[in-house]
Chains A and B, each alone.
Chain A
Amino acid sequence: MSKVYIALQDNDESRYIIEAIEEDNPDATVIHQPAMIRIENENYLVVKRETVEEKMGRDWDVQELHLNLITLGGNVDEDDDQLSLSWNV
């Protein structure tokens, strides 16, 4: 098994995004480090627009993720509704 991961700046917007990721990926591990939050999961992780919007209480474009993104690992697939990370196994 391989881990995919995403790291976000530790700020108010990211907190909602992290909540959404935790909800949509119940097995993901959240790691807090100085100024950043790293989330990792086995093979697959998804960020869903709908869940983030629900947490933030406003419209959210998946591309807004770039504003708070620090790094990620895995094959990326993004469209208007979600961003996913995966490894082929």
Chain B
Amino acid sequence: MSAKKLNLKDKYRLLTRDLDWEYSYVDRKKAFPYEEFEGIKITDWSKWEDPFRLTMDAYWKYQAEKEKKLYAIFDAFAQNNGHLNVTDARYVNAIKIFLTGVSPLEYQAYQGYAHVGRQFGGAGARVACQMQSIDELRHVQTQIHAMSHYNKYFDGFQDWTHMHDRVWYLSVPKSFFDDARSAGPFEFLIAISFSFEYVLTNLLFVPFMSGAAHNGDMATCTFGFSAQSDEARHMTLGLEIIKFLLEQHEDNVPIVQKWIDKWFWRGTRLLSIVAMMMDYMLPNKVMSWKEAWEVYFEEAGGALFKDLARYGIRMPKFVEVTEKEKEHVSHQAWWIFYNYGHAAGFHTWIPSDEELDWLSEKYPDTFDKYYRPRWELAKKMEAEGKRFYSQALPQLCTTCQIPMGFTEMDDPTQIAYRSSDYEGEKYHFCSDGCKHIFDEEPEKYVQSWLPVHQIYQGNCGGASVEEVLRDYYKLNLGADNLDIKGSPDEQRWKEWKGVA
């Protein structure tokens, strides 16, 4: 008689329980040296459960199928000159930010999960981290393949790993992941699996990828949604992880809350770039950043935190600030880049009249009052041949590393400045949230590699900004940077479209 086919629950139990073993001749604490120093108490690893109960055989089967679908679309996209079908050459600049800013984070996530997966004493957690690590490697590979097509036709895609390591605004995403990976294994899970994957990545991969489809970019939409099919698993795991930690021991609650507070704020700052991509860089709009924030954070996150209240977990600190920031942050971020377009690896522009009207409609309480006049002024100056680029290097926030351009939320004409003194030095911050994070761990953040400080200290070559951009960042000046207007990208686009 043949054995009965195992059901999902049995298969998962066999993989995550029976594959583990008792340690007879090795000290468990030496085998898992990072498991205790963060103060997290685990009493029973066998309570770890993946609600999808994914086993390796099913994992490989479905991942292979996803890949086949995805690469068929990449082939079709390339064979049909898909780059010609995007709405506008401006759109491609959002993809440049994606490749230089986001794809390297997928690689960091791959390394991060491979590392922490080794550090957990429970087999369920190790299996989950292994699968996620492989997923993240798949994401970076598929993203490189998808965007390599654009590299054949547009500037700014050629040296993305080098740029990620050096360019000033890319230190924002890079330092975010460096911060998470240099933390302990449990903080890494709260930072990436919970705060980032569960609470925030929907904002990047769902409305933005829907926006990619809406702008004719089938390759990006497809890798985005294919990655997101893994993310849905990662999100679910993030939620299970937090419930697992909170159920293991009551002493874990304040530690987890502190990490949620920290990583929620770190994440919202990181997403200010996505806010600007959605509001300013998609020629065909899907929804405003404010609307996306309301659906994917306020509504979805609100339901989540209500669910976690029974463990004594509250909403993240400074969440009330984000309610105000959703009205401002995309406008302030794009204005920073418009001012520093000469130092960016992508093109900038003034929104068209129709786009300004759309922004007025989507931001009735703030756009006409605070931001439209700036763009009208920029338009006037440009028409008079006085396009203005800021030459002074900006002060950066020591925590999030974004130029200090965000304002007080109750007074959007006043730039927000905060500072802390530590061992005789003064450190500067863009917000109460970033100052709070520094004050909790000053010994970590005094080591921040701040691009502007490094330039002034002479660590980035060159006596002039132009030399830093050209020799240290390896930007092709006059091609990768400056406005889209008059760029080689725009010229080629017009030739392809027969409007030159």
- Chain A contacts to B: CB under 8 angstroms: 2-5, 7, 9, 33-36, 63-64, 66-80, 87-89
Count A-B pairs with CB separation below 8 Å.
95
A35–B218 CA distance with the chains assembled, in angstroms: 9
29 A-B residue pairings within 8 Å (CB atoms): A2-B302, A5-B300, A34-B211, A34-B213, A34-B286, A35-B209, A36-B206, A36-B225, A63-B58, A67-B62, A67-B65, A67-B66, A67-B69, A70-B205, A70-B228, A71-B205, A71-B206, A71-B235, A72-B236, A73-B235, A73-B303, A75-B51, A76-B52, A76-B239, A77-B51, A78-B8, A79-B9, A87-B307, A88-B307
A75–B307 CA distance with the chains assembled, in angstroms: 9
Instruction: Write out the residue numbers on chain A whose beta carbons fall within 8 Å of the beta carbon of B303.
Output: 2-4, 73-74, 87
A71–B236 CA distance with the chains assembled, in angstroms: 10
Chain A's nearest CB lies how many Å from the CB of B48?
15
Chain A's nearest CB lies how many Å from the CB of B9?
6
Q: Which residue of B lies closest to A66 (CB)?
A: B62
A64–B65 CA distance with the chains assembled, in angstroms: 10
User: B307 and A2: CB pair below 8 A?
Assistant: yes
Q: Which residue of B lies closest to A76 (CB)?
A: B51
Instruction: Write out the residue numbers on chain A whose beta carbons fall within 8 Å of the beta carbon of B54.
Output: 63
Instruction: Write out the residue numbers on chain A whose beta carbons fall within 8 Å of the beta carbon of B214.
Output: 34-35
User: A80 and B225: CB pair below 8 A?
Assistant: no
Query: Interface size on B (CB < 8 Å)?
Result: 39
**Which single member of A67, A73, A88 contacts B229 (CB below 8 Å)?**
A67
Instruction: Write out the residue numbers on chain A whose beta carbons fall within 8 Å of the beta carbon of B202.
Output: 71
Instruction: Write out the residue numbers on chain B whose beta carbons fall within 8 Å of the beta carbon of A67.
Output: 62, 65-66, 69, 229
Given contacts A34-B214, A79-B8, contact A70 B304 (CB under 8 A): no
Instruction: Write out the residue numbers on chain A whose beta carbons fall within 8 Å of the beta carbon of B134.
Output: none
Is B317 in the interface zone, CB < 8 Å from A?
no
A70–B229 CA distance with the chains assembled, in angstroms: 5
User: A79 and B7: CB pair below 8 A?
Assistant: yes
User: B225 and A9: CB pair below 8 A?
Assistant: yes
Instruction: Write out the residue numbers on chain A whose beta carbons fall within 8 Å of the beta carbon of B66.
Output: 66-67
Chain A's nearest CB lies how many Å from the CB of B127?
16
Given contacts A9-B225, A71-B202, contact A89 B52 (CB under 8 A): no
User: B232 and A69: CB pair below 8 A?
Assistant: yes
**Which single member of B69, B232, B286, B307 contacts A33 (CB below 8 Å)?**
B286
Instruction: Write out the residue numbers on chain A whose beta carbons fall within 8 Å of the beta carbon of B53.
Output: 78-79
